[in-house]
Amino acid sequence: MRLFCFENRPRIVSCASVGGGLEQQGPLSSFFDLTENDTKFGLDTWEKAERRMNELCVSLVMQKAKILPEEIDLAFAGDLMNQCTASSFAFRGRDLPYCGLYGACSTFAESLGLAALAVDSGKARRALSLASSHFCTAERQYRYPLEYGNQRTPTSQTTVTGAGCVILGQDPSPVGILEFMPGRIVDLSAKDMNNMGAAMAPAALDTLLRYQKETQTDFSGFDGIFTGDLGAEGLKMLRVLSDREGLSLPSSLNDCGILIYDRVRQDVHAGGSGAGCSASVFCGYLYSKLLDGEWNDILLIGTGALMSPTTALQKESIPAVAHLVRIRRC
């Protein structure tokens, strides 16, 4: 059984999201708890800025629910940095057991699913899940120096500067996690590093097909189905591939990377990406729609491309993963 159904309905006790300048100017700006225009968050390096963003997000999520660190049993967190230092350094000195994760841009869905497993099992009273990314730290590590004069392709995406954090528990709360389906690693030999969306679409399809087989759903009952960061190109490929497989996906299918920016007004090409994309969009916009009752039942499918700069230089293809989480008003 690879679909985990949570009979004990771990509840979302608190959510917080933090964003950067581009996100502040985007259509979801009012759904962030905090946005900061300065890419360095007042510090001297971008790496410290991403840590600071995580620290702020974790502090906010606890403040909002008036929960102390010692009342949380476990934290699952990750980011895009080498050795996930944006997360691990942000938890320094906190009284919070920490489990680091790497799922690339799928990290938030992965951490949410694992936190739900921990709480549903009864072993953890409360669990925290956090994911982040920062445009500048990602560009430095994965692509080119910030001031380098290259042209990006129309298929490329813009790494979101953002963090999203959730506390799950059995406290009374209207929104809970119902199901978690971890993804398999899918690799159809896509090699174009400028089109991550297309590389990840097959993994999203694989998870959706497996979910449909397990649940016999026709997806029409969901108020929204949100992929993490396929972007415009990846979402297009997902629709094409699902048509070929005879999988009918509803028009409510959308993507966090498309929602977070205005692709007409903002120079973001195919849309947002990064671990912070699905994290900040879920913890701000998507959660608020569930909380106020506008939506009842949604799927979040966090998508991640699991290559490294080394594998890309060695001309390897891009394996991807897509983790599905079902969140519903309870």
Partner 1 sequence: MMDYEAFSKSRARPSPFLKNLCLSYFSGGLICVFGQILVSSFRAAGFDPDTSSLLTTGTLIFLACLFTGLGWFDRIAKHVGAGTLVPVTGFANSMCSPSIDNKAEGFIFGVGAKMFLIAGPVIVYGTATAVLLGIVIRVLMIFGIDITGWIL
The distance of closest approach from Cβ of residue 17 to partner 1 in the complex, given in angstroms and rounded to an integer, is 26
CB closer to partner 1, 4 vs 46: 46
Give the nearer residue to partner 1 in terms of CB position, either 177 or 196: 196
Cβ 185 vs Cβ 258: under 8 Å: no
Q: Least distance to partner 1 from the beta carbon of 2, Å?
A: 24
- The tokens of 280 are what? 């900040």
Cα separation, 200 vs 19, whole angstroms:
24
- Residue 106: CB atoms within 10 Å: 35
Q: How far is the CB of 307 from partner 1 (least distance, A)?
A: 14
- Closer of 58 and 196 to partner 1 (Cβ): 196
| Least distance (Å) between residue 142 CB and partner 1 | 13
To partner 1, the closest distance from the beta carbon of 119 in angstroms equals 38
Burial class of residue 41 in the structure, from the number of CB atoms within 10 Å of its CB (0-12 exposed, 13-18 middle, 19+ buried)? buried
Residue with smaller CB distance to partner 1, 192 or 223: 192
Instruction: Using the minimum distance from each CB to partner 1, give the nearer residue, 117 or 203.
Output: 203
Q: At its nearest, how many Å lie between partner 1 and the CB of residue 260? A: 19
The alpha carbon of 239 is separated from its chain's Cα centroid by a whole number of angstroms, namely 20
Structure tokens at 204: 């999203």
Q: Which is nearer to partner 1, 63 or 83 (CB)?
A: 83
- Within 13 Å of residue 154, how many CA atoms lie on the same side as its CB? 3
Q: Which residues bind partner 1 (CB under 8 A)?
A: 44-47, 140, 144-155, 188-192, 195, 198-199, 201-202, 232-233, 236-237, 240, 267, 270, 317
